[in-house]
Structure 1
Amino acid sequence: MQTVPATSANAVPAIGTRNPGIDLLRGLAIVLVVFNHLGLRIPLKKTALTDVLPAWLLSRLNYNGYEAVFVFFVISGFLISGNALRRWGSLEKIDLRAFYARRFARIVPCLLALVAVLSVLHLAGVRDYTIIHANQSLPRAIFAALGLHLNWYEGQTGYLPGNWDVLWSLSIEEVFYLGFPLVCLLTRRRRVLVPWLALLALSMPWTHAALRGNEIWQEKAYLPGMSAIAIGVLGALLADAWRPPRRTVVMLGWFGATGLGAVLLDGGALWHWLRDGYMLVLTLSSLCLVLCCRWRTDGGAALSLPGFGWLRSWGRLSYEIYLTHMFAVFAVVRAYRAWGGDPAHGWLWYLPALGLCWLLGAVVERWLSTPCERWLRRCLWKPAGAARPTTAELPVA
C-alpha cells in the first residue's frame, strides 16, 4: 500500500490558503441554490430542454437547493474548525475574542447591508420584497434576521419574501459558532468534545423526522443544520490527527462523489429506503469529498479540474452570491414574464440569471465585504505581527 511521503503528509496549508477542490464543491452548491430559486419560478422540466434531456434530470437540477445548503454546513464546519486548529494548535486553546471578531467582521457587514436594502424596498412597496403576511412585520423580521432566529420566525409565521428567506441558514450557522468555542473551552479535552459532536452529528435523522408536523420548521430547525456543521468539525479534527495513504484518499473521494451524486440525482430513491437517514448520506458524502480535497492538497496534488475555474470562482464568492442572488433572480423572472413568459424558452433565462448572480456577488465582495472585513479586524482585534487579513479562511454558506 502506497503512503503519502512524510514531507507532504506533514505539510500544513497556511491559514487562509484556498483549497481549489473545496472551492469547486462550494461553487457547485451555490449554483444548485440559484437553480432551485429559478426553478420555483421557471421550471426546467417545462422548457424545450425536455426534448434532449430527461424530465427527471431537469427536475433534480431545480430541486436540490436544500441539500446544497447542508453541503455548505459541512464545508463551513470543516474550514472554520480547521483554521482554528492551525491558528491555535487545538480547539481548547481558541482565543474567544479573536474567534468572535473574525466571525463578526466576515458576517455582519453584508448582513446589515442586506437588511437595510430589504427594509427600504419593503417600505417602498416594491413587489417581491414586501412582507405581506398579516402575522409578520418589518420590525420583527429585522429583529429575527439580526437576532439569528429568522428560521424560527418563519417556522412560526410562514415564509418571508425570498431575499429574507435565505437568512435562515445564517441563523443556524452563527448560533452554532456562538456556542462552539465556549464548548471547546469548557470540555478542554478532545476525547470529551468528540463524543458530544458525534452524538449531535448522528442525531440528524431523528431530529429531522421529529419535526415532520411543520414543513418549514422541519427544513430550517437548528439541530439538523448544526448536526451537519458538527460533521464538518469532526472531519477537521480527523484531518488534523491522521494522514491516510494516498489510495485511501482516492477511494474516499470516489465514495463521496458516488454518495453525493446519488442524493442529488436520485434522492427520492434514497428517501424511499432510508427516510431521513438520507441526510446522513448527503453530509457524510460531502465530508468525504472535503477530506479528499484537503489530503490531496497536503500531498501536493490539489484538485483543480481544467475548465472549471468559473465554478471555483462561484465558490470563492459563495457568501456574497448567497445573500444577494435573489435580487438577480427576481429581476430575471420579471424580465422573462414581461417578454411573454414562454415556458419552452425559459431555460434561456438561466444564462443571464447566473451571470447577474456572479456579477452582483463579485461587486459586493470587491466593494463591501472585503474592505469592511479588513477594517473591522483592525478595529476589533489585531495581534502583533499579524499578516494582512484575508477572506479566504472564513467561508460561510
Structure 2
Amino acid sequence: MQTTHTRAIARNPGIDLLRGLSILLVVLHHTGLRIPLKKSVLAEFLPARLLGALNYNGYEAVFIFFVISGFLITGNALRRWGSLDQIDMRAFYARRFARIVPCLLAIVATLSVMHLLGVGDYVINRDGQSLPRAIFAALGLHLNWYEGMTGYLPGGWDVLWSLSIEEVFYLGFPLVCLLTRRSWVLAPLLLAFALTLPWTRAALEANEIWQEKAYLPGMAAIATGVLGALLVAHWRAPRWAIHAFQWVGVCGLIAVFLFEGLLWPWLGEGCMLVLTFSALCLLIACDQRSLLGMTKLLPGFGWLRAWGRLSYEIYLIHMFVVFAVVRAYKAAGGDVAYGFLWYLPVLPLCWLLGAAMERWLSTPAERWLRGGSFPVPAYRDL
C-alpha cells in the first residue's frame, strides 16, 4: 500500500484535548468511587446526571484511549515507512519498548515495595493472588486476564489492565500488516473486527471483570482507530465533512457520557460502538483540520491539552495521588458533603507527578534506549 500523503504527526491540539479529557475522566472516576460527587453539596446546584458523568465514565475513557492509540500508531507507522507492508518490525518493537517499559518497570517496582512494606491500599491479599504472580501478569501482558480469573488487584495494579491489551496489540500489529500487505484487504477486516465490540462484551457478561477487561473488546476499539488512520491517509475531507465529523463526534460522546442510561434500553452494548466511532469522528476531524491549517484553539483549555500530553504518565501514577488524598480526607473526618473540595488537590498533584515522571524518567529513558542520537518525537504514540 502506498499512501497518498505521509507526513510527520506533530502535536495536534485537538487530539491532545481528547486525550486530556479521557485521562481527566479516569482520575475523576477513581476519585469518585471513594468520594462521590453526587453525595456532596454540589448535588443541590448541579444536575445529578452531570455529577454522575464526571464520576462514572472512566472505563469509557479508556476505550477512547484505545481508539486514539490505534489511530496514532498507524499514522506514525505510515509516516515512518510509507506503507504498512514496509514496517520494520525490529524498529517498531524497539520504539514501543522504549516508550512503555521504563515507566512500567518503575511503577511495578514501586508497587512491589509498597506491598512488601505493608502500606495500606497496596497490599495484595485476595485469595489466589500473590505479589510474584501480579508482577508476572503486569510484565507478561495478561494482568487483565489475571484479574478476570482471580478478582480485582489493589488500585495501583488494577490500572495496568489496559496496558496488557495495548501491548498485545503492539506485538501483533506489524505481523498483521505484513501478512495482509494491502489496505483493501486490511480495511474490511478492521471494520468487521471493530463492529464486534458489542457482541464480544455481551458474550462475556457471565464474568463482570473479564467482560470489562478482555482482549477482544479493547482490540476492537484499537482497530477502530487503525481504520481511521488508513482513511485519512488516502482522503482529504472537504470543510463541510470536517465540521460534520466534528459535530457527530461531540454529540456522540455527550450522548454516551450524559445519557447512556437512556440509550441503554435501545442500544445495549451498542453504546460502546457509539463511543468508539464518535471518538474516531473527532480524531478524523482533528487530523483533517490540521491539514487545512484550521488550527484555532479552544480558549481556556490549555490545561486540559497539557494533561493530554502527559496522559500516559498521569495514568500510571494517578492512583498514588488518589489513595493519598482519600486517606487525608478520611483522617479529616470524611465529610462527604464537602468531599468535592478534596478533588482540588488531586488534579494538580496528578499533573505535577506526571510531569515529573515525564521529565526525569520517561523522556530520558526513551532517549537513552533509542541510542541518544535520536530525538524523542514531539507526538509519541501513547
Give the TM interval when normalised to the shorter protein. Answer: over 0.9
| Matching residue within 364, 367, 370 for 2:360 | 367
Aligned residue for 2:71?
Answer: 78
Aligned Cα RMSD in Å?
1.2
Q: How does 1:4-153 map to 2 (within 5 A)?
A: 13-15=7-9, 17-153=10-146
SS at match of 1:378: coil
Q: Percent identity?
A: 71
Tell me whether 1:342 sits opposite 2:335 in the alignment. Answer: yes
Aligned residue for 1:5?
Answer: none
Equivalent pair of 2:122/2:155 in contact (CA under 8 Å) = yes
| Distance in 1 of aligned mates of 2:262 and 2:128 | 38
Tell me whether 1:358 sits opposite 2:351 in the alignment. Answer: yes
Q: TM-score, normalised by structure 2?
A: 0.97
| Distance in 2 of aligned mates of 1:215 and 1:96 | 36
- Describe the superposition over 1:199-230 as per-residue Cα deviations: whole angstroms up to 9, x where unpaired: 21111111010000000000000000000000
- Describe the superposition over 1:149-181 as per-residue Cα deviations: whole angstroms up to 9, x where unpaired: 000000000000000000000000110110010
| Distance in 1 of aligned mates of 2:121 and 2:51 | 26
- Describe the superposition over 1:30-69 as per-residue Cα deviations: whole angstroms up to 9, x where unpaired: 0000000000000000001011101222112100000000
Q: How many residue pairs get matched? A: 379
Tell me whether 1:389 sits opposite 2:382 in the alignment. Answer: no
| Distance in 1 of aligned mates of 2:229 and 2:181 | 17
Equivalent pair of 1:12/1:298 in contact (CA under 8 Å) = no
Residues 303/281 of structure 1: CA separation in 2 closer, same or farther (3 Å cut): farther
Aligned residue for 1:332?
Answer: 325
| Distance in 1 of aligned mates of 2:49 and 2:18 | 23
| Distance in 2 of aligned mates of 1:302 and 1:257 | 18
Aligned residue for 1:191?
Answer: 184
SS at match of 2:200: helix
| Distance in 2 of aligned mates of 1:39 and 1:303 | 33
Tell me whether 1:205 sits opposite 2:198 in the alignment. Answer: yes
Tell me whether 1:283 sits opposite 2:270 in the alignment. Answer: no
| Matching residue within 199, 207, 211 for 1:218 | 211
Return the letter of the residue paired with 1:37: H
Q: How does 1:261-272 map to 2 (within 5 A)?
A: 261-272=254-265
Q: 4+ residue runs of structure 1 moved beyond 2 angstroms?
A: 10-15, 392-396
Aligned residue for 1:293?
Answer: 286
Return the letter of the residue paired with 1:147: G
| Matching residue within 226, 232, 242 for 1:239 | 232
1:13 CA displacement: 4.5
Q: TM-score, normalised by structure 1?
A: 0.94
| Distance in 1 of aligned mates of 2:123 and 2:297 | 42
